[in-house]
Amino acid sequence: MERRTTGMVIIGGLIFVVLAGFLAVVQPDARPLALSAALFFGAVAAIAAVERGRHRISPTTNARLMGAASVLFGVGFGAMGVVAWRDPYAFDRAPQAVIVAVAVLGLVFFGVGGVLLIVTGGRPLRWGRRR
């Protein structure tokens, strides 16, 4: 991504985090949704920040930071799934089952993928015997 694009994504993600905090204060009933949105968009800003600074750090450190941000992204997905599971009307326009399914897929994909990035440091996994 270009430097300007990552800067805009960071700013946009942080704006949504602030709006989620505002929503949590103004509308106490929406606190679970606001928390999940803050996690999700905070992870978006973190991923863009890691992408922006990738030239200044080693590839292994970059992969591990991207993995940590990806785990946060997966947790944000999982939190949205919990909100949709507990309140079928939290997301007005989409069916509850679709939201929960997408949230579980996001949690598994980004959560497990992030953990693998942290563990491997971006190096490919070796299966079987080494030659």
State yes or no: pLDDT of 95 exceeds 80.
yes
Angle at 96 between CA 73 and CA 34, to 5 degrees: 45
The reply to whether the predicted model has a pTM over 0.95 is no
d(CA 19, CA 13): 10
Choose between 17 and 55: higher pLDDT: 17
Confidence of residue 129 (pLDDT cuts 50, 70, 90): low
- In this prediction, residue 130 carries a pLDDT of 61
73, 42 contact by CB (below 8 A): no
122 SS3 class: coil
68, 125 contact by CB (below 8 A): no
- In tens, the pLDDT along 39-76 reads 999 999 999 999 888 888 888 899 999 999 999 999 99
